Amino acid sequence: MNKFIVSGIGPSNGGVGRLMYSLSEMGREKGYQIITKRNEVSLKKLFKDRMIIRLLMEPIIRLGASILFSFKVASLKHSVILFVHPQFAGYPLLFRLLKSRNKVFLYVMDNSFFCIESYNYDRLNKHECLKCVASINSCYDFCKPFPNKKLSKSTNLNYLKILREMNHKIIFLAQNENQKKLISEHFGIDCKVKVVGMDTGEFSGPNVGYEKKETIKYDIVFHGSTVYAKGIEFFVDLSINLPEFIFFVPDSKANVERLLAQKISNKNIHFVDCNWETGLKSIVTNASLVLVPSLWSAPIEGALIKSILINGNVGVIKSLYGYASEIAQEAQLLVLENNIKNASKKIQQFLSKKNYSTIKQKEWTAEFLRTNKLNNLFNLIDIEVRLNP
């Protein structure tokens, strides 16, 4: 059988994009052909850079690339297919592949299999949202499809209903045990789920961190995208409640104020729009405490793993299905309640003791790096195909 990796997002510097770099390289070595959707070029950036001809051509290029991608995927039959990111690849293409006697493995990046917003965050109550597990129509009126904002809500919900009906034809590849539990809760215990890990190719080894360098040092650093689901509002509220510490956010103040629809007036929180390559790595390395306060059922997050590897003093929010809760004890994480006052007290106690990474934590990081290279993913697919052709 021919083997293909199909993805709605191509290799890039983003989260899924970094994963696709790794999957594409390993996949080619294993005999897989790669079919990915073209990553769109920002129209705003083209206009800002005064690339007018390219700006006028971009919509045409997008349309042509989309048609070509759909044609290539729709023509696949009797093949082994590793499918990634159905929101952008297109659920109808996934369903067509399932009907064409293909062996389909769906790598689960986020929680879009039950939550149309992908990050199952309850904006009303500000915590992990499980309303739609096994009950797709239970979402709030204000919930909207994300990250593919072009999908209508009714269409997205209909796709998820079809996915539930066809789930017996899919082998789900989960990143971690808690994600496997969540998939089973939604589709039923009879659905096929295998845990394969996650590797974006950014983790270079167990000795990657713990070396403090001379640089600007912040007490508490936010590591993650500045969105509600990843705890940016929680982080800002913490900074107000803990005026004795200096906080840092890797984004502009204007962007965060626009998101939260509020002015941030406390002086103990600093904002610099930067990423891992342009300064954030050094800031995370030298922080007294790094917070990755995701408020959804987050699987393996690159920000969390990198924080553990290069710093060791890492705080997370307790959740039912998040990966952080799964590894909290072994990785020696500071687990906070989703309550500002209680979390503040725990942080004060933690920083007063000047905690640092332990031997136990270093052993955990070495084990993570050893077992999450995704070679297991391709080996598992080969075994499954041999046993159940």
| Residues paired with 334 in a beta bridge | 315
Q: In what order do the strands lie in the sheet with 103-107?
A: 33-36, 3-7, 80-84, 103-107, 170-174, 192-195
pLDDT of residue 360: 75
Report yes or no: 9 and 88 within 8 Å, Cβ to Cβ: yes
HSE-up of 113 (CA within 13 Å, CB side)? 28
| In the block, residue with structure tokens 């997002």 | 9
Lowest-pLDDT range, 68-77, 104-113, 236-245, 378-387?
378-387
- pLDDT above 80 (res 216): no
Q: Residue 208 pLDDT more than 50?
A: no
- pLDDT, tens digit (0-9, with 9 covering 90-100), for 58-88: 889 889 999 999 999 999 999 999 999 999 9
Inform me whether the pLDDT recorded for 209 exceeds 50. no
Model pTM? 0.90
Residue 359 has pLDDT above 80, yes or no: no
CATH architecture assigned to 220-369: 3-Layer(aba) Sandwich (3.40)
The answer to whether 299 and 230 have CB atoms below 8 angstroms apart is: no
Task: Convert the pLDDT of each residue in 168-181 to its tens digit.
Answer: 999 999 999 999 99
Instruction: Parse the chain into domains and list their residue ranges.
Output: 3-199+372-387, 220-369
- Pairwise pLDDT comparison (372 vs 308), residue with the higher score: 308
Q: Give the mean pLDDT of the chain.
A: 90
- Res. 373: pLDDT tops 70: yes
Q: Which of 41-50, 232-241, 345-354 holds the top average pLDDT?
A: 232-241
**Cα separation of 387 and 389, whole Å?**
6
pLDDT digits (tens, 9 = 90+) for 317-354: 999 999 999 999 999 999 999 999 999 999 999 998 86
Tell me if residue 118 falls in helix, strand or coil: coil
Identify the weakest region by mean pLDDT among 198-207, 239-248, 277-286, 307-316. 198-207
Domain 3-199+372-387's class? alpha beta
Q: How confident is the model at residue 56 (pLDDT cuts 50, 70, 90)?
A: confident
Q: 374-387 in b/e burial notation, b at 16+ Cβ within 10 A?
A: bebbbebbeebeee
The residue count of the chain comes to 389
pLDDT, greater one: 353 or 110: 110
Q: How confident is the model at residue 215 (pLDDT cuts 50, 70, 90)?
A: low
Reported as a single tens digit per residue, the pLDDT across 252-263 is 999 999 999 999
- Please determine, for residue 107, whether its predicted confidence score (pLDDT) is greater than 80: yes
- What pLDDT score does 199 carry? 81
Domains 3-199+372-387 and 220-369 share a fold: yes
116: nearest Cα among 57, 67, 180, 161? 161
Is-contact 53 43, C-beta < 8 A? no
Tokens of 151: 């999908």
Outline where DSSP puts E strands in the chain: 3-7, 33-36, 80-84, 103-107, 121-122, 127-128, 170-174, 192-195, 220-222, 247-249, 269-271, 289-291, 314-317, 334-336
133 pLDDT higher than 50: yes
Q: Does an H or E element contain 166, and which?
A: helix 153-166
